[in-house]
Every structure is written in structure tokens, then in C-alpha cells.
Amino acid sequence: MTSETREAILAGVSRSQHGVFRRAQAIEAGFPPSTIDDLVRRGVWTRVGRGVLAPAGSPVTYRRATTAAVLSCDSAVASHECAATLLGFRYLDTHPIVVTVPLSSWNRLEGVVIHRSGDLMGEHITTVHGVPATAGARTLVDLAGVLLPGRLEMVLDSALGRGLVEMPDLIRTFNQVARKGRKGVGRIRPMIAARGEGFVAPDSELERRFRAFIERCGLPTPAAQLPTWWEGRLIGLADFAYPHARLIIELDGRLGHTQLLDREHDNLRDQLAVAAGWRVVRITWRQLHRHPDQVVELLGAALRSGAA
């Protein structure tokens, strides 16, 4: 292979990667290791990352720095504020170089923020301007762990409003990775609940909000986790109930479509409770969050009719 050929091959690789290339890519293009070392020693090429090189004097851009960081780490993708910058999200206050790597990776790079993740799925990754990066929905979920609530809400609304992220994708991604202890879950959860269908709220959070809602609205305090029976058979524990009014309140964190078996189970419990002389009111996260006045009116009317 002639020197012109190998230089042309490497130039093509470099152009596709914002002016940087791996040492291994230079070798694949036909450059002997000794030649690479000599070019670096003479200052023709410069090191811009772990095993990553660039022609000396080439323009230093945000995309170049991001690509160098991604190429320097094992199975890395741009993420968090860095992915958000590449995707064109607005209202970020800082633009650091941030990558996410697998849990097994222990890379460290000066000037680069590295997150380790065990739940980064293939569908969470895309390519933006030639740079592997987290997709918009995953980026928003990740940002919840590093941005303050006010800033996060601005970025979220802008991304949704400009069509950079679709709500179904955000809901699906959140439900895939949300777990107890994951940083930012509690921060973005109410924002998602207020904006779209299909969100599943944890029982404990929904119950906490309902208790606070009852107290705030001045409604009587209901019994919690009340056993309900039908013909000597335990139907289940009602989330909340007003025994004097024979009124059961079930909280439902599922705002959109749910599994058929779940719906059938809930319907059967409601039917058995009605057969035992109870009335059942189901209140969703969405109702509690968006239409609290309607919930107050509904419960007030149900209590009055039950006491009559």
C-alpha cells in the first residue's frame, strides 16, 4: 500500500469522526506502529485521548472533543448534558463532555465526566452528527439526575414542544429504567405524570400524595388498607375507605393502557365489592395531579349520598 493510499483512507476515517481517529484505525489504514510513534514524536499528530489522535493544529470543536472522549472509552456513548447538546436541547446552563460506559468499564479521562450504567439498552442509543449518543428520551431521564428541577422542566418542555422527544418514548424509557435509588427518578416522575398518558406511578408515592390531598382539601380522613369481604371471602385490602358511607377508594397509577390481566383482576375486585354492598371510586394519578377540584367534588358527592 502506498503512503498516499493509507493517508487517503485515514483522512476519510478522520473526517467521519470530526477530525480524530484511533491509533488502531491508523494501523488498519496501513500505518506501521513505528511510523505512528514517529509522527506523534515529531508533532505531526497529537494525542487527544486514550489511544486517540488528531492532526496537529486541527480545529478543536465540541464535537471533536466529544468524539475523542467516546473513542477513548470502552463501549462509550455521549450522554447527559453532552448528548443533550448534540441533540439540540435548549436551556442547558453548562455543556460538559459527558459519556456513559458499561458498569464493567473503569476508564478515567481528564476533563471528561464518566457515568457507569447497567441499564443502557440498544434502543436508548442513537447517532447524532456521527457521534454515538443516548437518544432523546434516555437523555432526559439521565438529565433528571444532574439538573435542578426548574432547569429540568424547562429542558423537558422545550424538547417535547420542539418534537425532539415524543412522550410515548419518554414514558417507555422511564418505565424501563426507573428503580428505587436511581438518581433523578423522583424528580422527573411528576413531570412525566403531568404531561402524558401511560405513566405508572408507584403505589407508595400515589398514596402519599392522596393523603396530603385529603388533608389539604379538608375531607374526612379515610381508613387505609381496609380489609373487604364478600360471603366470608377476603376480597382484598382497599387502598382507602369510608366504612360509614360504604365507599371504597382505589388509587390507580396507570394512566394509559395496562395489561389485560391487571384490568380483569381490578374489575373482579370492584364487582365483588359492589356485590358486598360497597361503592367503588377509582382515582388516577392524572386526576389527582391535573383535576383536583373534580376529585374533591366527586368524593364529596359520594360521601353525602352514602350518608343519606
> What's the confidence (pLDDT) of residue 24?
95
> What's the confidence (pLDDT) of residue 256?
40
> What's the confidence (pLDDT) of residue 50?
93
Q: In angstroms, what is the C-alpha Rg of the chain?
A: 28
Q: Is it the case that residue 155 has pLDDT exceeding 60?
A: yes
pLDDT digits (tens, 9 = 90+) for 17-44: 999 999 999 999 999 999 999 999 999 9
Class for the domain spanning 203-307: alpha beta
Q: How far is CA 51 from CA 82, 145, 274, in A?
A: 21, 30, 69
The single residue listed with the C-alpha cell 371510586 is 281
**CA dihedral of 84, 89, 91, 95, whole degrees rounded to 10:** 30
d(CA 27, CA 15): 17
Mean pLDDT of the chain: 89
Ramachandran class of 289: left when φ > 0, alpha when ψ lies in -120 to 50, beta otherwise? alpha
CATH number of 3-58: 1.10.10
The reply to whether the predicted model has a pTM over 0.85 is no
pLDDT digits (tens, 9 = 90+) for 244-296: 999 999 987 654 434 455 667 788 888 988 988 999 999 987 788 788 899 99
Stronger pLDDT, 197 or 42, i.e. the higher one: 42
197 and 256 Cβ atoms separated by less than 8 Å: yes
186-195, 238-247, 262-271: segment of lowest average pLDDT: 262-271
Every domain of the chain and the residues it spans: 3-58, 63-193, 203-307
Mean pLDDT to the nearest integer, 70-94: 95
What are the backbone angles phi and psi of residue 57, rounded to the nearest 5°?
85, 0
Closest CA to 91 of 156, 35, 46, 34: 156
203-307 shares the fold of 3-58: no
